[in-house]
Amino acid sequence: MSKKTSVTRRSALKALGGVSLGGAAFYGPWKHNRVYAAASDKPLKIGITSDASGQYANSGASDRRGMHMAIEEFNAKGGINGRKIETIHIDTETTPATGSRAAERLISREECGFLIGAVSSGVANAISQVAQKYGCVYLNTNSSSPTESGENAHRVKFVWDGNGNNFAQAAVNNAMTAYGKDWLLLTNDYVWGHNTSAATRKLVDKYGGSIVDEILVPQGTRDFSSILLKVQQAKPSVVAAAVGGDDQKAMRQQVAQLGLGENMAWINNQQDWPDVYGLPLENLFGVFGTTWYYKLGLPGVSEFVARYQAMYPETAMQVPGNVFYNGYMATRELLSACERAGSTNNIKVIKELEQLKVSAEDRMQHHDAWMNPNTHQMQQTIYLATANHGAEDKDDMFKILSNSSPEAVQDKTADAAANLEPYEATPSYEA
Amino acid sequence: MDALLNLLPHIINGISLGLLFALIALGFMLIVGVMELINLAHGSLFALGAYAAMLIISPDPAWFGPLGQWYLGLPLTLRYIVGIALAPALVAIVGFGLEFCMRRTYGKDPLYGLLLTFGAAMVLEESIRLFWGSGEQVMPVPQAVSGAFLFGDLIYSRYRFFAAGFAVAVILLVWLFLERTPYGAIIKAGAHDSEMVRALGINLTRLRLYVFGFGASLAAIAGIVMTPIWGLRPHVGVDAVVPAFLIIVLGGVGSFWGAVIAGVLVGLVVGLTGAYASEWSLLSMYLLLIAVVTFRARGLFGKKSMLEA
């Protein structure tokens, strides 16, 4: 004889109540919903979101080398709060949609505590939207659209490169005085190009110049002949180019072939080291910006270069450049913030980073740097450089022309446009 | 009048660009025409040719010791000629290897051939990355064809005109080979009816091997010629394979002059949009393809199938 089992209304309500309480304890309402690695012996996982293919593959590799060197140094000291640091890399393919997917997977499936890496601003923006949804701290190491710390700023995102506006401020006024007031803009047809050219346009207007034409360069352009003919027909005093990655390499090669680098003044907003390393100096025409150079002659620089060479003896790029530097500095500061906070709680780490101040000596730059708490962009020294034709060392390609303090080139537009989410709206977790 | 004078340099530029596009598509067209195979490794063979030529033109002196030093002491023009002659031959050998791997896919679903050449493209690209690194490389060109010249108010690249002239020469040589030699006749017959060629006692296996090798060497020649314009990096082949595919569809699969004329048309469209609506310059070639295929599905010079009424 079998015993009859029945579900009474009372037992059903009890079960429902139990499930609800358990669910509430785990999922909220206080949004403290991810406790992946509270145990101190569990490794701290960092997701690396950088390009290994596409337009910025080469810069992505340099960016990763910088991150790995910083992580290696912390692991050699015993990790973060006794926890070893591990990394997982997904190729973001210089494609925003892939960036979103990579971020989603690294956070939700691989349970990474932090995300680091970007060269393309479109990709960085896509990653940061996903990161904000989860509250995951994300370091945009190397993308430099002004919107990254302006209208696309997020509470969880920190931007470590100088942006198009910073570089334009460092260059425009001087170039206008030296070369003339009729400017032509060459704009890569994506977020960084548009925003950088918009910043240049604003400054040209401010100093009394005029824009004679703006030529849009679609991403993936390899033939610049028609564009360069158009540039010649327009006869500008200055060409301000915001063209990056492989497009920029092809453009430089074709400008050098025509000898246009010497025939008109060029301002190349920012010049990433991996894009020009090993190229002939005639390809490196005009004036361009950078955040760091391996021959700055400041304390610590030669030791930093030696550490790079010891860690990457086989790398074709025998000296580090700005992309490596940004990857390294961003990662180092994140891990230092975790140490100072004594925790990997995202909100505590965010607050530490928001009040970050780094001395010029520690940054190996000419001026002290500081994190802008409103935009989450690192305010740092901006250098202008040109090709170093007199160098004996083949790697010594840049001749630094000037340095500007962070205050002199601060992007006030980004300050006005940034609107960070409140802490309460940012999910909290222990990495 | 001024507008016409402004337009003229862009038309000349478009035609020169188009001839280069036609050169890129030539090897692709040959393999599709004879073997009915879409060779997705065409771009990687293009890149491999450029890297091989660079190795021959300016080898690392550390690799070959005193012999390397002596070789580097030879005039650049001589090394360039050696490079442009030897590199396509080396890539043809790689093409032979690839065709050998392809044999099991003949007569089966065309997807197998597509997948195999896609895989080969990835293997070749990664091999290039391992051997030469992922950084940008520069191929030196002889002084005689480098630099610029002034015509009217505008500066033109001397190399670009050399490259366009070289493309015309290669196109004519390939045409003469196909039209005026018994080997060309066999290749054309193979493209028209491969079974009949076999029935006539011609070794079809060997014919396919040679055609694939020839197509691969043409891809390599295009790679060598384009490198001083586009630059050289492991994934540069991607920039070549897409226009090559588009041009043979536009010109009509298997049509030699169709591919040449389509190349010139694409060059003109890309060049003119680059000058007057640059944001459309990359898209313009696809719009041209859509416009043509909408009214003429087999492309500009594609032959009517026997199945069509």
- Neighboring chain A residues of B125 at a CB cutoff of 8 Å: none
pLDDT band at B305, cuts 50/70/90? low
Mean pLDDT score of chain A: 90
Sorted by sequence, the CB contacts under 8 Å of residue B167 that are 6+ apart come out as B19, B20, B22, B23, B225
Residue pLDDT, tens place only, A94-110: 999 999 999 999 999 99
pLDDT at A12: 59
> How far is it, in rounded angstroms, from Cα A257 to Cα B2?
27
Bridging pattern class, strands A238-242 and A265-270:
parallel
CA distances from A285 to A204, A281, A288, B73 (A): 21, 8, 9, 29
- To the nearest whole Å, the CA of A185 is away from the closest chain B CA by 13
Bridging pattern class, strands B154-157 and B148-151:
antiparallel
The CATH code of domain A165-293+383-404 reads 3.40.50.2300
pLDDT at B147: 87
> How far is it, in rounded angstroms, from Cα A233 to Cα A212?
11
Residue pLDDT, tens place only, A61-77: 999 999 999 999 999 99
Q: How many A/B residue pairs have CB atoms within 8 Å?
A: 118
pLDDT at A25: 45
> How far is it, in rounded angstroms, from Cα B96 to Cα B188?
20
The CATH architecture assigned to A44-163+298-380+412-430 reads 3-Layer(aba) Sandwich (3.40)
pLDDT at B49: 97
pLDDT at B65: 80
- To the nearest whole Å, the CA of B308 is away from the closest chain A CA by 39
pLDDT at A429: 92
pLDDT at A340: 96
What is the ipTM metric for this complex?
0.84
What is the domain partition of chain A in residue ranges? 44-163+298-380+412-430, 165-293+383-404
Residue pLDDT, tens place only, B48-62: 999 999 999 998 877
Q: Do A253 and B6 touch (CB under 8 A)?
A: no
Q: Which of A 47-76 lie inside 8 A of B, CB atoms? A: 53-54, 57-58, 61
* Burial of B179: CB neighbours in 10 Å, binned 0-12, 13-18, 19+: exposed
Q: Where are the beta strands (DSSP E) in A151-286?
A: 157-159, 182-188, 210-217, 238-242, 265-270
pLDDT at A26: 45
Asked if residue A94 lies in contact with residue A61, where contact means CB atoms within 8 angstroms, the answer is no
The number of angstroms, rounded, from the C-alpha of A272 to the middle of its chain's C-alpha atoms is 12
pLDDT at A244: 87
- A343: helix, strand or coil: coil
A259 touches chain B (CB under 8 A): yes
Q: What is the pTM of this model?
A: 0.80
- A41: helix, strand or coil: coil
Number of neighbours of residue A32 by Cβ within 10 angstroms: 17
Region B178-206 average pLDDT: 85
Q: Do B160 and A257 touch (CB under 8 A)?
A: yes
Q: Do A229 and B10 touch (CB under 8 A)?
A: yes
Residue A183 tokens, joined: 């400017």
Region B154-173 average pLDDT: 94
Question: B9-21 in b/e burial notation, b at 16+ Cβ within 10 A?
Answer: bbebbbebbbbbb
Q: Do A249 and B156 touch (CB under 8 A)?
A: no
Q: What would the 3-class secondary structure string for A362-380 be?
A: HHCCCCCEEECCCCCEEEC
Is-same-fold flag (A44-163+298-380+412-430; A165-293+383-404)?
yes
Q: Which of B 69-128 lie inside 8 A of A, CB atoms? A: none
pLDDT band at B134, cuts 50/70/90? confident
B231 has pLDDT over 60: yes
Q: What percent of chain B has pLDDT over 70?
A: 98
B238 touches chain A (CB under 8 A): no
- Neighboring chain B residues of A227 at a CB cutoff of 8 Å: 274-275, 278
Q: Which has the closest alpha carbon to A229: B275, B267, B228, B14?
A: B275
